[in-house]
Structure 1
């Protein structure tokens, strides 16, 4: 066997990852959790991905996804494509630095998955999600936050840290996606920008001005500076776990599954749209975002980063009749 070295992505995810993703029906109903330990291991020129799962859910999705066996499958590893060679998953993943966007099929689950894994060192976590499809029909969603360990089997302190993380994820996984409901403010952050050839071409400074109009509507202005220099304003509506964007610059909709919102926004008057996954990761409204730009229906840029909220005035304080 020829001598090989692991890809940059493979090196970035070294270790054993621990999480407890939530499981949602297609309409966003939370039905349970899946305690997971997993690792992608490079040895003797080969990469093997294994995953131990323990579902605790209700309804038919429990029977569908708890197959009662450890998952283990081969990976053709590279920084261009990670190709999954079965038997548990067949398909591929597309790495961009510390993010991989994968599309693959699970024979045991009979679903096609779009899985996005984003390692966020500054927050000490990996932000994970899988949208589960039968052809183009969404049948469920997994999502949750993971932490990595190098000594879980031998270190009691690490074991306690992981146990605390799992307990917190079981509680937080069902929290609804909510932006600040009453306070205006500004989200700020910096996103890495990759082109359609998966090359890092720079960064964007991202600013989002957020102002609630009432309890279900807010106005937002997104400004990008750097590789992409654009500015858009849209009225945003929330009804339960569904959202809409009413222009004047962006039109589209989204649906949330717990703390995760998946959206598509179309830029008015242009052949340009934005697919996004946005995740609320703490009580300070911090967002971990993936924004993918598609021009003329083709991938143009994939960008991702952390947005931190700077709260301003409470614009929906108590009202009175004197």
Structure 2
């Protein structure tokens, strides 16, 4: 009998969550109540998703289905292949993070799903595409601890629509250790990441970023926020970002051949006039147009 992969063992159990649905502009639309499990039996892996959509606005007809999801998975730590009938495609694990690209016939969208496992918490997002155009985004936090389910769902209901925002009046830094993986999915060491924030006004912040350890880089950029959008305006990095609720998705170009695509998810963001203190980050690093490395971890805030 084929043994489950390391990733399959890492995600065993039933995960419960209430991810939010956002349209392409980052406007909140509703919730998706989901129970997810990936079961490995007799050498065969099957993925199950059961739940339903609440709300959804003009997107409700597309993302509401009349039966639970189920699809086969060819299980491997190199590539997990999704064999239908509800999803077709593949996903690549990098330690406790998987980057999946696949198509859902029922939703009629191409998906890019990122799952980052932090203990019994899963940081989940699915970007939804019609060809190259973004249709929307599902994202949220899952737990597999049955004792926390009721409080977890209540918190996701309250916090899911909260917009991503960083401190606007107090300087400080998000810092922590991130795991680094090569494009070959093999561990490449640890990177200490420090993101220093110097608010310039209520909409602009100067970021000074330092990576040290297995990967070395320093850069600074003035970041301007415009609603759910942000703009990196040099001097060392240029690009933009789109936020969907608590998660921000930057695309940043450096002054050399390197560029970054990422997700910064504020784990403890709540309603009110403030920002969170725990940032789960995933950064995919490209040399030209070729994926070179993947870095992920959790950064914690301290004010200056």
Q: Pick the TM interval, shorter chain.
A: over 0.9
Selected match of 2:187 from 200, 204, 229: 200
Report what 1:129 is aligned to. 125
Aligned equivalents of 2:57, 2:220: Cα separation in 1: 41
Aligned equivalents of 1:296, 1:32: Cα separation in 2: 37
Aligned equivalents of 1:254, 1:186: Cα separation in 2: 19
CA drift of 1:125 comes to 1.0
TM superposition score normalised by structure 1: 0.91
Q: Does 1:290 align with 2:282?
A: yes
Selected match of 1:276 from 262, 273, 283: 262
**1:132 match: secondary structure:** strand
Deviations 1:114-167 (A, max 9, x none): 00000012xx41100000001111001000000014xx5xxxxx3xx2121111
CA drift of 1:61 comes to 1.2
CA drift of 1:60 comes to 2.6
Selected match of 1:36 from 29, 34, 37: 34
TM superposition score normalised by structure 2: 0.96
**1:183 match: secondary structure:** coil
Q: Does 1:141 align with 2:137?
A: yes
Aligned equivalents of 2:56, 2:186: Cα separation in 1: 43
Aligned equivalents of 1:162, 1:179: Cα separation in 2: 28
Report what 2:273 is aligned to. none
Q: Is the 8 A contact 1:26 1:138 kept in 2?
A: yes
Q: Is the 8 A contact 1:188 1:208 kept in 2?
A: yes
Report what 1:318 is aligned to. none
Report what 2:272 is aligned to. none
Q: Is the 8 A contact 2:52 2:65 kept in 1?
A: no
**2:178 match: secondary structure:** strand
Alignment of 1:154-193 (within 5 A): 158=147, 161-193=148-180
Bigger Rg over Cα: 1
Q: Is the 8 A contact 1:179 1:285 kept in 2?
A: no
**1:11 match: secondary structure:** helix
The runs of at least 4 aligned residues of structure 1 exceeding 6 Å deviation read none
Q: Does 1:238 align with 2:225?
A: yes
Q: Over aligned residues, Cα RMSD in angstroms?
A: 0.9
